[in-house]
Structure 1
């Protein structure tokens, strides 16, 4: 996410390295590079110019302490202005109303239907709501079927009318159905087109007038850059939507949409989405996104995702097993499963400060655990429970059953054993850690 922009901004700050103070000359040189980085990221020229003008004013007016290096001061100013450009603070979704009605709009291919499913899952799992998904795309082949599959995967019902070609009537009937059955959130997935056209605008406006939603969320493909911003303006002029959703942030996105859209439509970005997994939806925090753009990671979001997946009681039981050296391959599989639920692995790694640069040309896909899982699933229940049973003949059988090699099996077993020892050492408290440090070879 934003790798190219992050890299170019980092290069621009290097111009201030070694400088004793901020001056008009070195600020101008740095901000020239910052502006170029923003334009290359497909940020609107006027927005990029206004941004760098504001940074320059703040940099030259800042009361810089002697202890603060110019480069660090500039990064702080740019960070704060980036966050401000994207909205400043997080804006939560409005769930007033019984039921709360959310209208989802956007162009075809922007990811509306997938987002509708992710939003339903988010509201169900994190807000304790009972959502109803509504299929109002009566034009795209298999659109209703796609929503039904997504709904089934997260345990959320989907309202549709077989054979109906009237999305306004479907939307009205869905809200009435939700009221009668006790659903407290209605998420209406509308039809899109390959480009903005009058028929689509009239239809979605009529749906809006018919169901009077609390929220109108405009879904935009972040990879389309300035085109996304222009489309957002056209939709906002007609719909006056309440928030923006940026999808496909895991793609080769340059960042222009995220950095420009708030300034153009004056509406907050409420959610960002990456990947196809129903769990991969995040509430948008401008300051955290600014951290990530500047290569500072996003530890807060990483911890929040982990807390959502890791059960406190299970963690307590696991701690006891580790302390008794009883951590086994069943526990290992459980940990892998929870990590995978947290989202795209490269995206997770990018939340750790400095990792984006290290992983720039490294491809981490969601199959990264595939061979490890294959090896573990090729073990018998007794072997998973008692790794000590894994002698040479058993390892040979596991390698054959998992489609891997004996060295690969041996490597996993060695890593597992080292991990188990380290985990036990860490749960033993200060004495064990001191003992471990004392046993380390001296330089």
Structure 2
């Protein structure tokens, strides 16, 4: 697809040609003790801080100081409807309609709230299907839901596993599971991009397979939101959840996002947990009215949200709105493809990439295994000024994020990796 070349000059040339390269200067890049920029490759764990974030938060601090409670109505960005300022931009990022998206709570909390509505077990259909190596929090959450409903959390958990000596999951195996157990499975809940391998699943295909067998389908898109074009509406999934502190650069522990397909937007009978922020806005402050649920994803809110966290999300989403997920995805494919190209120059007898080779089946993360290496390799990379992510037993995850990583970053990373592996 791209005619990649070796050498530092090629990397510098690509950065000069890159229309998005100036966005790197709009982020705080961590530095070492000598003031040199580190090679930061862990946006898949915690995204970097936009330089605009402080001003966005300070605006709300000033309005709070000057207005007190009146800030709900008179702040520059009135707090009462602050979440509404995020809906359209977030919907654009995840490929949804504004009515389908809400920013609220945190990721695993949202997953539980979604299972309240979409996990409806019966005596014969009660099982939940997940990846065998799902992110631990997802596994813990679905196991607790099984126990909550009175089922055994081992018997009720169906695992979609890779084949022997393989790292990636195959759709044929998912089809086989559903053919054999589909009438016992109430919910399919898959990570949109697997945190470990970086495999990006075909959300629409999985949803169609699930619906063919009468299952509800949801996705944890923590590693997909802000990374790939998720197209959640077109996938047909019942729900999706994601965090905002990875590729969405909103800060540690920030609020999460939630998608509920519009076919449920006006279903007032759907089981859910409720609170006053899911109540009709026109009568929300008339404390003695009966509950009147809001349409769309807003109807899953419980409490008024933390404005300071939302301000950080707004700072990031305004940048996404400016660029668009499509352009970011295009650069991501080129940047990650270049990373893959350089790693191959080290020799596949030394480096194995477990992430899919097909750019349509991954985001910007590459998960790599180095022959005869252990965590000492990761430690040496860190000492060499590379911030990457180690996952047991033997995988280093690196994510060149298109917003702030450069081709030169990728080149320098691989050069440092080569220097270290040559001495193993």
Higher RCO (CA 8 Å, separation ≥ 6 residues): 2
- Same fold? TM cut 0.5: no
Q: Give the alignment's TM-score, normalised by structure 2.
A: 0.30
Q: Which structure: larger Rg? A: 1
Structure having the higher helix fraction is 1
Q: Give the alignment's TM-score, normalised by structure 1.
A: 0.29
